[in-house]
A and B are shown apart, each in its own frame.
Chain A
Amino acid sequence: MTNEELEIMINEFVDGELDKSKEGYLFTQLSKNDCLREYFKKCGIIKNEFQKSNEKFPFSFDAKILNSLREADIKTTPHYSQNYIQKYLVYLLVIVMVAISVYFIKESQINSKQLERTVMQVENQEKMIKLLINSIPSAEIKSTREESIIITANKM
């Protein structure tokens, strides 16, 4: 393996990505090669120095974030009184709907009785008309020419 390949292996080791089976080989090479050991040491220094540069999370920012979350939670979660009002509004709506439907049922019952009466009346009137037609005397039509045409009304 070339030095560059071994350096890549060191990088993988530092990043926690080196296969466990290759670790033994890497450490053997490190024990033999001074340059590689130096490189390994420098990688460690970079990692440590970079970690030292980490900024602490500002306390004021903690409060800012957590307060914003609380506000967002209040906006999304309905308040108890809002819940209470919503529940009663739904009940009220249901009662109104039931009252309206009862009114329409009663109205339709009244209308159906009226319709029945009207139908009866119409039937009676029809019978009367038929009786009147039957009671009319038969009609006779005579022509003025020689050949006479006689039309007589049909007897029912």
Chain B
Amino acid sequence: MQNKSQNIIQFTIIYNHHKEGLFNYCVRMLNNRSISQDILQNVFLKLFQHIENIKNFDTISYWLFKTTRNEIFSYLRKKKIRNEHLEYYDPTENENISNDHSNYYDEYEKKELKEIVLKGLNDLPSEQSEPFYLKEYSGLSYKEIASIMDIDEDLVKSRLYKTRQKLIKLLENIIINGDLL
């Protein structure tokens, strides 16, 4: 009985600490809140059922993000969606996305800078933006991200660098057009 209450406390701590990061990661990967909710519900249910068997809580963040990623890709496979960037996103949300950077300045008048950063990330192929999402939402190391994505550590580093380079170019474009920074 005491063991059970300890597990519930442990679960609550983990849940409260990671729920927002995992939710945002799912939403960015799928661009669909209701599916993200279903996926997260499964992830937390798995955590709750296996919490007694978890011995090392230091790696829980890694386990959660890896499980969430597996669930996302399993969902995408079931839906026969190939892992191509554009197919991750709701077509209605892609209508306004354009590769022409000059459009971002026009959009800025309506939207905040954060939305432009998000759109910039959405424009990138998923394999390039995913390490950025994982880094920002989980705070995992390059090594852990590499293990989650099953790629080389240097590749994670290089993808993060390239992602930031593209976002910086986007910002520079805004500076040239609107002198915002």
Contacts and interface: CB of A to CB of B under 8 A. Distances in A.
Interface of A: 7-8, 11-12, 14-17, 39, 42-43, 45-47, 49-58, 61-62, 64-65, 68-69, 72-73, 76
A54 B48 contact: no
Contact of A68 (B20, B45, B112): B45
A115 to B, nearest CB: 58
A64 B157 CA distance: 37
Given A49-B114, A65-B41, A68-B45, A7 B161 contact: yes
B48 A46 contact: no
Given A17-B141, A42-B168, A55-B23, 10 more contacts: A11-B161, A15-B142, A47-B136, A53-B114, A55-B20, A55-B27, A56-B20, A62-B19, A65-B40, A68-B45
A54 B20 contact: yes
Contacts of B171: 42, 45-46
Interface of B: 15, 19-20, 23-24, 27, 33, 37, 40-41, 44-45, 48-49, 112-115, 117-118, 121, 135-136, 139, 141-142, 157, 160-161, 164, 167-168, 171-172, 181
A57 B23 CA distance: 7
Most chain A C-beta atoms within 10 Å of own C-beta, residue among B48, B49, B112, B139: B48
A68 B41 contact: yes
Contacts of A46: 117, 164, 167-168, 171
- Interface of B, helix, strand, loop or mixed by DSSP: helix
A82 B136 CA distance: 48
A72 B161 contact: no
Contacts of B157: 8, 11-12
B168 A16 contact: no
B164 to A, nearest CB: 6
Given A15-B135, A43-B164, A46-B167, A57 B44 contact: no
Most chain B C-beta atoms within 10 Å of own C-beta, residue among A7, A11, A15, A54: A15
